[in-house]
Amino acid sequence: MHKNQEYMLNTIRQEAKFTASYTGREAFDERVMQAMQRVNRKAFVSADNKDLAFENSPLPIGHGQTISQPYMVALMTDLVDVKPESVVMEIGTGSGYQAAVLSQLVRQVYTVEKIPELAESARQRLKILGYENIEVRCGSGYHGWKEKAPFDAIIVTAAATHIPQSLVDQLKPGARMVIPIGLPQMYQELMLVAKGKGGTTHTDAVMSVSFVPLVMGDNEEKQ
């Protein structure tokens, strides 16, 4: 079977049904699926992986990093429940794929990448592809982007050892963050963090996952 964008969308729908007992979502919002359809994943994978672009699996993008599997991108996007007027932050730009999907759904995306080479290549790629409502910054994911806060949603695409308070602080009241928590090569859980109107947070475990680690900077302390 020739694998294309429609094949990818069908595999996402099938996996959503399979994982519904964990996620509580048998199907994702149609706006999310339309965004997944509009963003060509092939433009965000490396040259030697173009033939695998529409597989429902993560792929290496260099520097020990990966582009997330399409199902996970759709799930995390669905979980944060963004609106057309939303301003969101992504931690872990990678190739820029998740940011591109978010850009179809919200007013502005701010995305942070710690590895300079990936940040610059993603910035250039997104510019060439015409994504005008995405701004890329090279910096620490644990610090977020305070100057642009608060955000209507935050998506973290690398696993942290704990939920960073600095990121919680950058959420608007009523906003959501989705973040993998756990150690590299060990058990990780995708967590949904909801910030209440009064600033208190409620955290739910969604499902077990496997992500590359969110790297701490030299001046960041483990909690």
Q: What is the DSSP string of the chain?
A: ----HHHHHHHHHHHHHHTHHHHS-SS--HHHHHHHHHS-GGGGS-GGGGGGTTSSS-EEEETTEEEPPHHHHHHHHHHHT--TT-EEEEE--TTSHHHHHHHTTSSEEEEEESSHHHHHHHHHHHHHHT-TTEEEEES-TTT--GGG--EEEEEE-SBBSS--HHHHTTEEEEEEEEEEEE-TTS-EEEEEEEE-TTS-EEEEEEEEE---B-PPPTT----
- The CATH number assigned to the domain holding 135 equals 3.40.50.150
- Answer whether residue 73 is part of any domain: yes
pLDDT digits (tens, 9 = 90+) for 192-210: 999 998 889 999 999 999 9
Q: Is 68 noted as a catalytic residue in this protein?
A: yes
pLDDT computed for residue 7 by the predictor = 96
- Say if residue 117 is exposed, middle or buried (CB neighbours under 10 Å; 0-12, 13-18, 19+): exposed
CA atoms of 96 and 123, how far apart (whole Å)? 8
CA atoms of 137 and 82, how far apart (whole Å)? 21
- Answer whether residue 134 is part of any domain: yes
The domain containing residue 131 runs over which residues?
5-209
- Answer whether residue 144 is part of any domain: yes
Residue 61 has pLDDT above 70, yes or no: yes
- Answer whether residue 214 is part of any domain: no
- Answer whether residue 195 is part of any domain: yes
Catalytic: which of 21, 46, 68, 166? 68
Residue 169's pLDDT band (cuts 50, 70, 90) = very high
Beta bridge partners of 138: 113
Q: How many domains does the chain have?
A: 1
- Answer whether residue 220 is part of any domain: no
CA atoms of 161 and 180, how far apart (whole Å)? 9
- Answer whether residue 216 is part of any domain: no
pLDDT digits (tens, 9 = 90+) for 70-116: 999 999 999 999 999 999 999 999 999 999 999 999 999 999 999 99
